Chains A and B, each alone.
Chain A
Amino acid sequence: MTQEFDDLQFALRHYWRQYRGRIVGAGVLVLCVWIAGSVFYKVETDSQGVVLRLGEYYDTAPPGLHTKLPWPIDAVYTVPVAKVQAVEFGQQTVTPGRRTQYAPQTEDQRTMARMLTADLNLAHVEWVVRYRIKNAKDYLFKVGGERWTDPPAVNARELISNVSEAVMRRIIGDVSVDSVITIGRERIATDATVQMQQMLDGFESGIKIQAVKLKSATPPDPVKDAFDDVNRAKQNKERIVNDAKGQSNLKIPAARGGRDRVIAESEGYAARVVMEATGRANAFLAKLAEYEKAPEVTRKRLYIETMEQVLSQVSDKIVIDESVRGILPLLQLDAADGGGQAAGPLLSGRRGGAR
């Protein structure tokens, strides 16, 4: 036994003497490399570096190149604090952009989107939550994953997912299905942002909700038709009522216009008729004045003037002496020209030839 130990001692001493320089040199090199590797560290521009010294929190480093004490004394964990991430509920974006493409909805997503409203109806809500890390230290060391790992695992997505669903359902569970689908959508998104942040802050999660957006809030597929019917009926009602109002607005002014026109016409008639009568009356009164000055003479004069005119107008004159009675039957009493009819033995003309 002693012999082997002596041999070992001898061998060791030999190797030490021979390679002392190289061993020391190699040792120094290894030490340098190790220090360099664990003394310098870089924090990316979108991150922060959380430094633990002997396990205790020591510092949060901004982006850039930094130094620290070598491991295991100092440990650094980088956290992407500027990066905005999104969690989608009820749908999944395949290609983001102006015309986002979504993957076809799976049964799971449909179940996630389906929720009870305050009137115990069902609605489909799809939403997206955008978040970023606001406190790197809290983010790493307050809320954990399944168990401790190094570097610490944080299941942020799961936490946000749970909080988001609980809050969204809580809010929607307190409003009517109409509020979800149309009237109250803005308010729901705002309330959700506030309440989710409250819950996450309660956990000291170090997460900040940037935005909650309702991508879609609709009645479930099987009842979509019935809901659309209501909208259609409502629009129809507006249309029908407007039509009726339009008709009324057209016809009533027209009728009023007609009435005013007819009344004006009557007034015109009245004026005309009264004026004509007044004219004739005045003409008569003038003639009467003249007549009263010399009635006999005037009467005879007027008579003769009239007959003068009449007999010159009448083209067909036959003067018969009364004693000549037999001629009458021989006269051609039918109208030969101008359509005039035969007169009786006295003056009586019919209107026939007055053209």
Chain B
Amino acid sequence: MRAAPAILLLVVLLLILGLGSMYIVPEGQQAVITQFGKPVGDPVTDAGLYFKTPFIQKVHRLEKRLLPWDGEPQNMVTQDKRNIFIDVWARWRIVEPMKFYKAVGTEQNGQQRLDESVDSAVREVIADHKLIEAVRNSNEPLKYESEELERDWAARREQINTGRIKIEAAIKERASEALTETFGIELTDVHIKRINYVKSVREKVYERMSSERRRIANLYKSEAEEEANRILGQMQKELETISGEMEQKSAEIRGTADAEVIRITGESFGKDPRFYEFLRQLEAYKKTLGRGTRLVLSTRNDFLRQIHGPDPDLEE
């Protein structure tokens, strides 16, 4: 029993020693062991339980996961002299932890290394290309609501040779050159987040867009007039044709009928024109000598022949 507290102390000491010689590297993490400040041995890249010399050796943990990098918008000029703001983001990984630890140290320092490499890579690549190469990704023809604009675009047609994705790849390649060899960093992705005009250029673009649209609006106005006039002109022509038809047809019909009447009466009355005249005159008297007429007759009138006395010829 005398040894009991001593044993207890020993157990505690062993425990502390034991704990100090074990360490866990969880998933998503990697570690570099240093001895008296100097890195030793191989870096630990797989998750699990590991052992080291307690107190003398220290564990420096590093991210194994994909790390973010987000650049500030940079002002630069493209090959075709366009003044733009461009904003790029990237993702990177520590692939050689030993190299990284020696050359860079912490993830935060890594960010700074990326700042330098990526920003200058962006500037170089952008200066070598036209703006359209960084905006478009294919040469598919553009569709518009009005045919006029489609024709306009087809006439201008700017084709791209590189395209947005290839430019992103070019930036990544150029930035990677320094990073991998020296710092053990792998740049896995570089993407353009935003491209925008500087304010003064933006205003000009707005003006261009406005005048372009106004031109289309005016085009619609004149097309409307033209179309309406065409329709009304057509209508007028049709109306006149119809009117002409009407006149012609009715005149023909009436003319034919009138000719027929002349033929009929001519044929019939022509059989005895004098008899016709006689009848016609009698009819005329019946019609014209009406109630209000004052008739002054001479006793020589044939009707009144008997007035002087009975006809002496009758007995003959």
Give the interface of A toward B (CB within 8 A).
9, 12-13, 16, 52, 54-57, 72, 75, 111-112, 114-122, 137, 140-148, 150, 152, 155, 158-159, 162-163, 165-166, 169-170, 173-179, 182-184, 202-203, 219-220, 222-223, 225-227, 229-230, 232-234, 236-237, 240-241, 243-245, 247-248, 251-252, 255-256, 258-259, 262-263, 265-267, 269-271, 273-274, 276-278, 280-282, 284-285, 287-288, 291-292, 299, 302-304, 306-307, 309-311, 313-322, 331, 335, 337-347, 349-355
Contact = CB atoms under 8 A, between A and B. Distances in A.
Contacts of A303: 282, 302-303
A274 to B, nearest CB: 5
A184 B141 CA distance: 13
A284 B49 CA distance: 141
A265 to B, nearest CB: 7
A138 to B, nearest CB: 10
Contacts of A12: 5
A304 B303 contact: yes
A331 B145 CA distance: 98
B246 A55 contact: no
Contact of A281 (B254, B269, B286): B269
Contacts of B224: 233, 236-237, 240-241
A236 B218 CA distance: 11
Contacts of A119: 142, 153
Interface stretch (B33-41, B121-129, B131-139, B173-181): B131-139
B166 interface: no
B294 A342 contact: yes
Contact of B143 (A56, A184, A310): A184
A219 B211 CA distance: 14
A302 B281 CA distance: 11
A298 to B, nearest CB: 9
B194 A169 contact: yes
Contact of B66 (A142, A165, A318, A351): A142
Nearest to B203: A222
Interface string B149-162: 10001000000000
21 contacts: A54-B49, A72-B24, A111-B196, A141-B28, A143-B65, A148-B62, A150-B26, A162-B193, A170-B164, A244-B235, A248-B232, A255-B238, A259-B246, A266-B251, A266-B253, A273-B258, A274-B261, A314-B289, A335-B292, A335-B294, A351-B288
B55 interface: no
Given A237-B221, A277-B261, A281-B267, 18 more contacts: A56-B47, A115-B194, A202-B189, A222-B210, A226-B210, A230-B220, A262-B246, A270-B257, A274-B260, A302-B278, A313-B290, A316-B292, A316-B293, A319-B298, A319-B307, A322-B300, A353-B293, A354-B287
Contacts of A270: 253-254, 256-257, 260
A119 B212 CA distance: 12
Interface in B173-217: 189, 191-197, 202-203, 205-206, 209-214, 216-217
Contacts of A267: 253
The 7 closest A-B pairs by CB, nearest first: A353-B292, A338-B292, A144-B65, A270-B257, A354-B290, A281-B268, A141-B28
Contacts of A255: 238-239, 242-243
A115 B216 CA distance: 23
User: Range of interface residues on chain B?
Assistant: 35 or more
A263 B295 contact: no
A158 B191 CA distance: 14
B250 A266 contact: yes
Contact of A241 (B202, B210, B228, B269): B228
Contacts of B193: 162, 165-166, 169
B301 A347 contact: yes
A234 B203 CA distance: 26
A269 B249 CA distance: 13
A343 B264 contact: no
Contacts, number: 402
Given A54-B48, A178-B145, A256-B242, A353 B291 contact: yes
SS class of chain B's interface: helix, strand, loop or mixed?
helix
Contact of B296 (A182, A273, A320, A351): A320
Contacts of B68: 144-146, 155, 158-159, 162
B250 A263 contact: yes
Given A302-B282, A314-B290, A347-B295, A152 B28 contact: yes
A263 B249 contact: yes
Given A152-B28, A251-B235, A175 B142 contact: yes
A278 B257 CA distance: 12
A179 B29 CA distance: 46
Contacts of B165: 170
A143 B213 contact: no
B286 A310 contact: yes
B316 interface: no
Contacts of B286: 306, 309-310, 313
Contacts of A280: 265, 268
